[in-house]
């Protein structure tokens, strides 16, 4: 009886928490098809007349398409660099092939706790002449998401049997070949998790590009949302349509790969 009551309470709490996220999204989705008058009411109701042209107006904005392109390229390179460096770092740390591995691991963990200091970052990037460049913002994001990725991959690496390393080395396999041909394929669930988490973090971040990119041609899609709202704040139908387009890519990827995300987050804690 107590177990049944507890299950009901948990389900109710889950429904309430899900509603906090789902209801605003549904309001934005419905508002994206409303005219200027109905959209300004901010109500969770179906439009009296479906205005599909809101999306056409948004997609005809050339700077919007440029923002999507910038965000896609930024996410792509950050995910590639982060996955490579984090997996190599986790490989060295867990396999005890790196001296002072515990200290190195602690430094990565501190990166999860210590906030980014934006002013020294800007000064360093200006000294290196990478401020307001694609390379600079890619390196910035790679550095900020690396601690989480190392933490996750290190935990998952514990589930990879060490006997595989020994067998491969006995057969004459080099360390690099062992890593890329044997270890990396086994890290697929964790790497997919890293990809989704990093993509969502980079895609939705506002302050990084806001402080580090002054050229509007290099702005990400989130900064384009900021400028778009300033320009079209009198027509919330356009704004809602734009927000739906911004949310959709990450949402689709997450829904398609959510099983891999759960496996990647739990495997390291359940094994080893």
Predicted confidence at residue 266, as pLDDT, reads: 57
Q: Could you tell me if residue 2 is inside a domain?
A: no
In this prediction, residues 17-31 reach a mean pLDDT of 87
Radius of gyration over every alpha carbon of the chain, rounded to an integer in angstroms:
23
In this prediction, residues 52-65 reach a mean pLDDT of 85
Q: Could you tell me if residue 5 is inside a domain?
A: no
In this prediction, residues 22-50 reach a mean pLDDT of 87
* pLDDT class of 74 with cuts at 50, 70, 90: very high
Q: What whole-number distance in Å separates Cα of residue 92 and Cα of residue 129?
A: 32
Q: Could you tell me if residue 20 is inside a domain?
A: no
Percent of the chain clearing pLDDT 70 (strictly above): 92
Q: Could you tell me if residue 36 is inside a domain?
A: no
Q: Could you tell me if residue 71 is inside a domain?
A: yes
* pLDDT class of 77 with cuts at 50, 70, 90: very high
Give the pair of three-digit tokens for residue 149. Answer: 């990725």
Q: Above 70 in pLDDT, residue 256?
A: yes
- Top mean-pLDDT range of 128-142, 160-174, 176-190, 257-271: 128-142
Q: Could you tell me if residue 15 is inside a domain?
A: no
What's the domain count of the chain?
A: 1
Predicted confidence at residue 184, as pLDDT, reads: 87
Predicted confidence at residue 262, as pLDDT, reads: 61
Q: Could you tell me if residue 34 is inside a domain?
A: no
Q: Which residues span the domain enclosing 211? A: 61-270
Q: Above 50 in pLDDT, residue 270?
A: no
Q: What whole-number distance in Å separates Cα of residue 162 and Cα of residue 144?
A: 30
Predicted confidence at residue 98, as pLDDT, reads: 62
Across the chain, mean pLDDT equals 84
* pLDDT class of 78 with cuts at 50, 70, 90: very high
pLDDT in tens, 157-208: 888 887 887 788 787 888 888 888 888 888 888 898 899 889 999 998 988 8
Tokens 């550095």, residue located: 143
CATH number of the domain where residue 256 is located: 1.10.3720.10
Helices within the chain (DSSP H only): 2-31, 36-39, 53-59, 62-94, 101-113, 118-127, 134-157, 162-170, 175-178, 184-186, 188-204, 207-212, 221-232, 236-270
Q: Could you tell me if residue 46 is inside a domain?
A: no
CA atoms within 13 A of residue 56's CA, in its CB half-sphere = 3
């Amino acid at each position: 009886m107590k177990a049944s009551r507890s299950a009901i309470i948990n389900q109710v709490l889950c429904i309430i928490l899900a509603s906090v996220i789902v209801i605003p999204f549904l309001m934005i989705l419905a508002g994206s098809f409303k005219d200027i008058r109905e959209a300004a009411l901010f109500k969770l109701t179906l439009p009296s007349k479906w205005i599909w042209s809101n999306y056409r107006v948004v997609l005809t904005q050339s700077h919007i398409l440029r923002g999507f392109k910038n965000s896609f390229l930024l996410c792509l390179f950050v995910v590639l660099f982060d996955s490579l460096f984090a997996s190599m770092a986790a490989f060295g740390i867990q396999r005890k092939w790196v001296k002072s591995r515990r200290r190195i691991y602690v430094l990565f963990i501190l990166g999860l706790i210590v906030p980014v200091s934006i002013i020294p970052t800007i000064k360093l990037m200006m000294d290196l002449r990478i401020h307001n460049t694609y390379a600079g913002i890619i390196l910035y994001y790679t550095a900020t998401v690396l601690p989480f990725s190392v933490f996750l991959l290190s935990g998952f690496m514990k589930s990879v049997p060490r006997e595989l390393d020994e067998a491969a080395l006995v057969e004459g396999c080099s360390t690099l070949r062992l890593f890329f041909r044997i270890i990396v394929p086994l890290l697929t669930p964790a790497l997919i998790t890293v990809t989704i988490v990093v993509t969502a973090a980079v895609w939705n971040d506002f302050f990084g590009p806001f402080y580090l990119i002054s050229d509007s041609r290099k702005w990400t899609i989130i900064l384009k949302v900021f400028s778009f709202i300033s320009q079209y704040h009198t027509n919330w139908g356009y704004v809602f349509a734009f927000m739906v387009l911004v949310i959709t890519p990450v949402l689709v990827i997450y829904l398609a790969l959510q099983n891999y995300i759960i496996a990647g987050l739990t495997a390291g804690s359940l094994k080893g």
